[in-house]
Amino acid sequence: MTGFGKGEVNHSTGKFETEINSLNRKHFELSVNLPKSFLGLEPEIRKMASKWLNRGRVNLQVNFETNNRAVGQVVVNKELAKSYHKTFQSLKRELGLKGDVSLEQVVQAQDVVKFVPFRISLKEAKPAVLKSVEQALKSLAKMRATEGKSLFKEITNRLKLVQKTVDRIEKTAPKTVREYEKRLLKKIRETEVAVRKNEDLIMKEIAIFADRIDVTEELSRLESHLSQFNHLLHKKEPVGRSLDFIIQEMHREVNTIGSKANNAIVSKDVISLKSEIEKIREQIQNVE
């Protein structure tokens, strides 16, 4: 299921921010992006995410922004400064130059003065990082729950259309045999063949045709699949993969009904069923 979540935690040294976005996928794929100094927290973050999420391609990113109080440190290599000073003085004497070596000349020498940016320790950052991740996961779950309600309503409405169409096929399909029997008898009369003399042959032909187009078993299995689908749809635990399997089985039964159908109305209903089932299949890719 698609969604976005964000978490922010303020710290004395700055702000920790976690952003999570998820896209539809059959399986669970998690990508975690952390600042280099926080890489040690990745296993724990993955464990947290797996408790909240079961399907989808998920990107989780943690950022840390320092504030004005988290300043870096100026480090002076005193031994190197002394060495530069001594060398500069010696060089001046050799060159016959007057004046002393200034502090400015020394500190401008390479590697004497360095600025080390502020870095928060992993131990100090851990509580704030994990709290921001938890907030983002909760935010994502809330958004997905809202979308889930809308999704549930849409799928339920489509299932009602499917059930209505299945009910219509159940009423229409038996009429096909009777219509075939009428057409066959009409042709026999038109050819002036005695019906009584060929009654056994006619009944056999009708029985073969009836068996060939009988969709009772397919409709029964389709009804069972619809019942299972509705049952799973009302469960609170993750059922996306189970729903995906059932919808494939429903599609298989509808295909079989379509191949057996010898009735224009049934054929039209089969096309309608395929359309609705495909739309449901697309929607359940969003279901965990």
How does pLDDT run along the chain (288 residues), one tens digit per residue?
678 999 999 988 889 999 999 887 777 889 999 988 899 999 999 999 988 887 788 999 999 888 766 566 788 899 988 998 999 989 888 888 888 888 888 888 898 888 777 678 888 889 999 999 999 999 998 888 888 888 888 899 999 999 999 998 888 877 766 666 666 666 666 665 555 555 666 666 655 655 566 777 888 999 999 999 989 888 877 788 888 899 999 999 998 888 777 777 888 888 999 999 999 988 887 776
Q: How far is Cα 54 from Cα 32, in angstroms, rounded to an integer?
A: 16
> Is 280 in a helix, a strand, or coil?
helix
Phi, psi of 287 (to 5 degrees): -95, 135
Phi, psi of 195 (to 5 degrees): -70, -45
pTM score, whole prediction: 0.59
Q: How far is Cα 243 from Cα 228, in angstroms, rounded to an integer?
A: 9
Among 137, 118, 117, smallest CA distance to 62 is for 137
| CA 116 vs CA 122, 176, 225, 271: distances in Å | 17, 86, 65, 69
What number of residues does the chain have? 288
- Fold exhibited by the domain 3-69+124-144: Ribosomal Protein S5; domain 2 (3.30.230)
Return contacts of 224-229, CB within 8 angstroms, 24+ apart: 225/249, 225/250, 225/253, 226/159, 226/162, 226/163, 226/166, 226/250, 229/159
Q: How far is Cα 125 from Cα 148, in angstroms, rounded to an integer?
A: 34
Every domain of the chain and the residues it spans: 3-69+124-144, 73-116, 148-284
| CA 224 vs CA 131, 231, 246, 278: distances in Å | 45, 11, 10, 18
